[in-house]
Homo-oligomer: A and B are copies of this chain.
Amino acid sequence: DRPLALIAGPCQLENLDHARMLAHRIAEAADAAGLPWIFKASYDKANRSSLSGRRGLGIDEGLGILARIREEFGVPVLTDVHAPDQCARAAEAVDVLQIPAFLSRQTDLLLAAGETGAAINVKKGQFLAPWDMANVADKIASTGNARILLCERGASFGYNMLVSDMRSLPIMARTGWPVVFDATHSVQLPGGQGGSSGGQREFVEPLARAAVAVGCAAVFIETHEAPDTAPSDGPNMVPIDRLPALLDGLAALDRLTKGRG
């Protein structure tokens, strides 16, 4: 079993300096914990709860910043795509294309992403069972792409709430693809603030610990220097100054779980 990887970054790109600052601090924390990592940020928030939610920098400026981060930090970068025609462009700037959970059944998007040859991280739809992801992975694999990640990010549980079913990690792992646990969106309260989603940042650590103890391949954690004023997902992002301790704990758990401790 390979050691735990980290996917981390802000929810959405704000500007180059901000991305640099966060990349720098994440790199320090990940290096200290001994975790290989991937920088994550979105150039467009295409499915905000309401029209008043900030969308982001757009694809041109966003991909430019991501390419710079990749080059300056020597770190792989990940971004999410929302339409088939974005895939090829995004794949020039980033290493991993991410399929948003709501779009996890959109065949054309999955195929276009797969065809780029980039690694693909597919979020499991909140409306899907973990075993349904085998069909999703097969759509991507049909393009010849064999770099697929399946990502748990919570299942619908009544209204405006998600639940993280830890059984989904071993169930999705049966496909043979590495499984990622998204500890940020799993603690979202979708639509829970009327015009935007709420969140429960205090549960990022317990859920991430649970997932690592079960044996996932990677954790996904969004972070920000001031989550409460961030343009999106503030309620569930981890403050960057708490990241080092969180990662240290996860890395130790992972070593123990995978017999390298």
**Which residues from chain A sit less than 8 Å from chain B, CB to CB?**
46-51, 55, 82-84, 102-103, 105-108, 125-132, 135, 138-139, 142, 155-161, 163-167, 169-170, 187, 190-191, 195, 200, 202-203, 206-207, 209-215, 252-253, 256-257, 261
A47, B107: Cβ atoms under 8 Å?
A: yes
B214, A209: Cβ atoms under 8 Å?
A: yes
Give min CB distance, A26 to chain B, whole Å. 23
Given A103-B102, A164-B166, A167-B206, decide whether A132 and B49 contact each other with a Cβ distance below 8 A.
yes
B127, A156: Cβ atoms under 8 Å?
A: yes
Give min CB distance, A94 to chain B, whole Å. 21
Which of chain B's residues have a CB closer than 8 A to the CB of A253?
A: 213, 253, 256-257
Which of chain B's residues have a CB closer than 8 A to the CB of A102?
A: 102-103, 105-106, 125, 127
Give min CB distance, A89 to chain B, whole Å. 16
Q: How many chain copies does the complex carry? A: 4
Q: A47-B106, A82-B106, A127-B156 are in contact. List 5 more A-B contacts (CB 8 A).
A: A125-B127, A128-B191, A129-B160, A158-B159, A210-B211
The distance in angstroms between the C-alpha atoms of A103 and B82, with both chains bound, is 11
The distance in angstroms between the C-alpha atoms of A103 and B105, with both chains bound, is 10
The distance in angstroms between the C-alpha atoms of A132 and B105, with both chains bound, is 22
Selected contact of A200 from candidates B55, B157, B167, CB within 8 Å: B167
A50, B166: Cβ atoms under 8 Å?
A: no
7 contacts between A and B (CB under 8 A): A50-B138, A82-B106, A129-B159, A129-B160, A167-B200, A252-B256, A253-B253
The distance in angstroms between the C-alpha atoms of A130 and B106, with both chains bound, is 23
B214, A206: Cβ atoms under 8 Å?
A: yes
Which of chain B's residues have a CB closer than 8 A to the CB of A261?
A: 252, 256
